Amino acid sequence: MNLASFQAFAQDKQIEGTGTEFIQPLDQDLPSEVLLPILFILFLVFVIINLIKYFLEYRIKNKLIDRGMAEQLSAYLLDKNVQEKQDEVVKLAIIFFGVGLGLLLTYLTSPINLHSLAIIAFCLGLSYLAYFFYLRK
């Protein structure tokens, strides 16, 4: 038996039936099986959107400069002020806290099922509500 076939059967357990034995793979952890790919895809989409945004802002800034607008004025029109940047950081912190709280509550309520998605969605909604109240302050 070579190493590859040995590794293929390393995760199996045997269940005794009525005279015949069959091999059933162990159940894998559902959060790592489902949530990690979703989080990776969300992170990838976030990075791609930010790269596109920076590229398009750069192109707009160059076009404004080419048409004769001063560089300082174009930078003023396109750049965010300090308060907007701080609000964006607070928004991301609140949203990540909400997602983390949702994942923690999902982990604590063991059977991962449809209610787990509801818990995560509810925590995410609460985090957006907290951000809304932060902006209204």
Residue 129 confidence (pLDDT) above 70: yes
**Which segment of 99-103, 111-115, 121-125 scores lowest on mean pLDDT?**
111-115
- Does residue 119 contact residue 105 with C-beta atoms inside 8 Å? yes
Q: Alpha-carbon Rg of the chain, whole angstroms?
A: 25
What pLDDT is attached to residue 65? 76
Domain residue limits, the chain = 81-137
Residues 6+ apart with CB under 8 A from 132: none
User: Tokens 């989409």 label which residue?
Assistant: 45
Sorting pLDDT into bands at 50, 70 and 90, what band is 77? Answer: low
Residues 6+ apart with CB under 8 A from 61: 74, 75, 78
Nearest to 13 by CA among 34, 31, 27: 27
What pLDDT is attached to residue 83? 72
pTM value is 0.48
The pair of structure tokens assigned to 132 is: 């809304």
- Which amino acid type is present at position 25? P
